[in-house]
Amino acid sequence: MEQPQPAPGSLSWRLSSHPITLLIFLGFRVSSLLVYLFGILLIHNLVMIFIITILLLAADFYYLKNIAGRRLVGLRWWNEVDPATGKSHWVFESSEPGTKVVNPTDSRFFWIAIYAQPCLWIALALVALLTFNFIWLPLVVIALVLTITNSLAFSRCDKFSQASNLAGRAFSGGNLAGSIASNMVGRFFSR
């Protein structure tokens, strides 16, 4: 008997356009949380858990920022420093409209994982505070800084992408600008 195929956009990694990228991305996202949780519950070795969790968080940060974001949703960001003034600013990059079709499954997995991980680290910070395990707070704060930075950057990158796509359609195709102009002119002469 044949199994039914999941609907497009459902949370099934088999529907992904880039299943290996997606599985590695999710693996990094989950592994740092699991090492932290199982380390606290079973191992009780602060130094080892701290080092392994930081390495996993750093690998997740790099992989998400440079590989998974680009392949799964067509977004990438980085920070540039102006050598003359020393001021830094974020630069956002998105794939050209029409050149990359974002798979709905990849997009759903990406955005759920982007926002779920900081929420889970916030919950772990509250647990550390409520159980008076203050020694674990520096690790949780580092995890929060890394995951929230990626969440904010990709959110801004997505907004930038949507705005630039809208502007590109309006000025290059003329469809949006032309329809607005024709509606304004039509209303003016119809009265």
Q: What is the pLDDT of residues 147-181, one digit of tens each?
A: 999 999 999 988 877 765 554 554 455 454 444 44
Q: Strand (E) positions, 88-131?
A: 88-94
Q: How far is CA 68 from the centre of its chain?
A: 9
- Would the pLDDT of 47 be above 70? yes
- Residue 44 or residue 71, greater confidence: 71
Which tokens sit at 28? 């990094």
CA dist., res. 7 & res. 61, Å (int): 30
CA dist., res. 16 & res. 98, Å (int): 19
Mean pLDDT of 93-102: 78
* Amino acid identity, position 191: R
- Would the pLDDT of 99 be above 80? no
- Would the pLDDT of 94 be above 80? yes
Which tokens sit at 191? 């009265």
3-state SS class at 114 = helix
Q: Grade residue 93 by pLDDT with cuts at 50, 70 and 90.
A: confident
The Cβ of residue 46 has, within 10 Å, a number of other Cβ atoms equal to: 13
CA dist., res. 138 & res. 56, Å (int): 16
Instruction: Lowest mean pLDDT of 5-9, 86-90, 139-143, name the range.
Output: 5-9
Pick from 103, 117, 100, 102: which is nearest to 26 by CA?
A: 117
Which tokens sit at 79? 């920070």
What are the distances in angstroms from CA 117 to CA 37, 39, 45, 76, 114?
13, 18, 23, 19, 6
- Would the pLDDT of 30 be above 70? yes
